[in-house]
Amino acid sequence: MVLEICATILGLMQGYLAMINKRSNWIFYIFQMLFLIAFSFINHLYGDVFNNSIYLIMGIIGFVLWNTKNDSSKITSCKTKERVAYTLIILVGALFVGNRLSSTNDPLPWLDGFTTVSSLVATYYMMNKKIDTWVIWFVNDILYAVEYYLLPNQAFYLFLLNIVWTLMAVGSYYNWKKLMKEGDEDDKNVLFRNIQCKT
C-alpha cells in the first residue's frame, strides 16, 4: 500500500506540472516510475514492469529534451498519416504484448498489453510536445483505471489516480491547445516583424 500511495501522490504532482507545460514534471515522473516498477512486480503485472522501466529511461530523456526546448517551446500536433501509424502501432503492439503476457501469471494480460503499448506511445509524444499525447493518455488512463480496479488485490489509490488523470488529460489537451495557439500567434508576430525590418 505504501508503494501505491507514494506513486499516486507523485503521479498527481507530475500530472499537474505536465498539464501546465513545466519541465519539472519529469522529476516527479521518474520517481513515480520507481515506485510503480516495484508495485507492478509485486502484483505480477509484468507488462507494467517492462513498461515502467522504459518510462524511467524516457523520463530522463524527457527531462533532457525539455531543457533544450524551454517550458514555453512549441507544441505541435501530428499529421493524419502519423495518427494512423500510431493507432496501428498501438493495436498491433497490444495484440503482440497481450499474447506474450497470456503465457505468464499476469492476471489481465490483454488489458496489460494494451496499456503497456499505448502508454509508451503517449510518453513518446509527450516527450516531443505533441498535443496528440493527451488523446492517447485519455484512453490509456481509462483502461488503467479498469485494470487497477479488476486486479485481484484491487489497487484503489492507483484506480483513483487514473480517474483523476483521465480528467487531467482533458484539461491538459485544452491547455496545450491554448499554448499551441499562442505559440502560433508569436510565430506570426515574429515573421511580421522580420518582414517589416526587411522593408
> How far apart, in whole angstroms, are the C-alpha atoms of residue 28 and residue 38?
16
What confidence score (pLDDT) does residue 191 get?
45
What confidence score (pLDDT) does residue 192 get?
46
Q: Three-class SS string for 87-116?
A: HHHHHHHHHHHHHHHCCCCCCCHHHHHHHH
The backbone torsions φ and ψ at residue 43, rounded to the nearest 5 degrees and listed phi first, read -95, 15
Residues spanned by the domain of 48: 2-198
- Evaluate whether 168 touches 19 at the Cβ level (below 8 Å): yes
What confidence score (pLDDT) does residue 73 get?
64
* pTM, 2 dp: 0.78
What confidence score (pLDDT) does residue 132 get?
96
Residue 130 Rama label (left phi>0; alpha psi -120 to 50; beta): beta
For residue 196, the number of C-alpha atoms closer than 13 Å in the C-beta half-sphere is: 6
Long-range contacts of 34-39 (CB under 8 A, 24+ apart): 35/3, 35/4, 35/6, 35/7, 35/10, 36/3, 36/7, 38/3, 39/3, 39/4, 39/7, 39/155, 39/158
Domain count within the chain: 1
Q: Report the chain (199 residues): mean pLDDT per 10 consecutive residues.
A: 86 89 92 91 80 89 77 80 96 94 88 91 92 96 92 83 92 92 63 50
